[in-house]
Amino acid sequence: MSQEKAKLTIGGETYEFDILTGSVGPAVIDIRSLYAKTGMFTYDPGFTSTAACDSTITYIDGDKGELLYRGYSIDQLAQDSHYLEVCFLLLYGHLPSKKELTDFTNRITNHTMLHEQMHYLYRGFRRDAHPMAIVCGVVGAMAAFYHDSTDITDPEQREVASVRMIAKIPTIAANAYKYSIGQPFVYPRNDLSYAGNFLHMCFSVPTENYEVNPIIERAMDRIFTLHADHEQNASTSTVRLSGSSDANPFACIAAGVACLWGPAHGGANEAALNMLREIGTPDRIPEFVARAKDKNDPFRLMGFGHRVYKSYDPRAQVMQDTAKEVLDLLGVENNPTLQVARALEKVALEDEYFVSRKLYPNVDFYSGIILDAIGFPTSMFTAIFSLARTVGWISQWKEMIADPQKKIGRPRQLYQGEVRRDYVLLENR
């Protein structure tokens, strides 16, 4: 806590509030006593200036374009680590020893199958259902199959639910893809890596052998790492708010999936690729940039801008490099979509409208190009984002549940509606 106090003067009376400081980043004014002292609320729709919790998991410096998972920078982790090690780091706060990593990997690997009866859930959906609708429904239904890990007061059950969630989300997402294309589900294999298993469950068919391409496997794993966690974003805040009511972990993750689906959030990767395809060629970029700047046009450059990053999203840089690597490997020379993306980025970053608003490419701008090159339909992009973000949601949920200060989240409002008035009988209206 800082020695200095924050002072607020209202109606000639001055109120003091503690200033709390973290290990790095902005300090906070502790306003928990504000309403009791002043009878007033703060007003912050969209939470642009609100810290909703303490956390030790992920730190973002939006001005520097820095992203740290438990203190380790995203570019180093994307380069030198791999997703399951990042999962361990996010969950337990330290890089695992060899034995810890082996044990954790085995635990995850041995929980990748779904309860066989869960396969019937998929048959209730239309074949053309969006994979995110399926993933959201099946994740929520996990509470009906894994009821023995829903007691949130039991640390062991919280641990089991966490492992099950991380282990099974690739199988759930892959099944949603297979169901949408009318192919049989493919069971996970314990001899494959986490990313390799996902590729296998998505792209192998019973009629022939499927070999995981190691470069694609590495790119997939890196995409998972880049999306693993991101502080108190909308979907993570949804998971926390859901968890604050002591809802079971599967219900909380399903809520996070639902929130991430929005095109302003995780749905932007699907929208960004669709936008790049609609632009089609670099000569149409000015038309779309003009629309993005037009206040009367709801169109925005998808994959651009960020609430926190007011500089280049560090994940977008790694994603751009990975896109080139994958496209080169696949021999997709001069991929038109990548060409449009690079040209659009150049135009936007030289345009006063974007520069003055500090709008840069975010994680969603290039990811779709890689996923498209690997062979995923755009409808699977956000399901893959959900898959990767599950460890972040679960880590943040566990941190909140274990927090002795945990309280149910219950924001207030500035009421602008009718004041009290008497009911008028129908015959008198």
Residues classed as catalytic: 306, 364
Please give the C-alpha separations between residue 82 and each of 37, 76, 87, 101, 220, in angstroms, as whole numbers.
49, 10, 9, 11, 10
Q: Is 310 in the site for ligand SDX (CB under 6 A)?
A: no
- Least distance CB 182 / ligand SDX (angstroms): 31
CB-based contact 229:377 (threshold 8 Å): no
Q: Is 220 in the site for ligand SDX (CB under 6 A)?
A: no
CB-based contact 240:394 (threshold 8 Å): no
Q: How far is CA 309 from the centre of its chain?
A: 15
Q: Is 222 in the site for ligand SDX (CB under 6 A)?
A: no
Site for ligand SDX in 233-252 (CB under 6 A): 233
Site for ligand SDX in 338-377 (CB under 6 A): 357, 359, 362-364
Q: Which two tokens stand for residue 210?
A: 């499927």
Q: Which of 119, 265, 310, 406 binds ligand SDX (CB under 6 A)?
A: 265
Q: Is 314 in the site for ligand SDX (CB under 6 A)?
A: no
Please give the C-alpha separations between residue 143 and each of 91, 164, 187, 383, in angstroms, as whole numbers.
21, 11, 21, 20
- Least distance CB 40 / ligand SDX (angstroms): 25
Q: Which is nearer to ligand SDX, 12 or 298 (CB)?
A: 298
Q: Which is nearer to ligand SDX, 183 or 378 (CB)?
A: 378
- Least distance CB 63 / ligand SDX (angstroms): 14
CB-nearest residue to ligand SDX: 305
- Stretch 50-89: interaction string toward ligand SDX, x if CB under 6 A: ----------------------------------------
Site for ligand SDX in 276-305 (CB under 6 A): 292, 300-305
Q: Residue 358: which region, alpha, beta or left (left: phi > 0; alpha: psi -120 to 50)?
A: left
Q: Is 306 in the site for ligand SDX (CB under 6 A)?
A: yes
Report helix, strand or coil for 365: helix
Q: Which is nearer to ligand SDX, 140 or 392 (CB)?
A: 392
Sheet (strand 58-61) strand order: 58-61, 66-69, 72-73
Please give the C-alpha separations between residue 418 and each of 396, 411, 412, 415, in angstroms, as whole numbers.
39, 20, 17, 9
Where do contacts with ligand SDX occur on this chain (CB under 6 A)? Answer: 46, 230, 233, 264-266, 268, 292, 300-308, 357, 359, 362-364
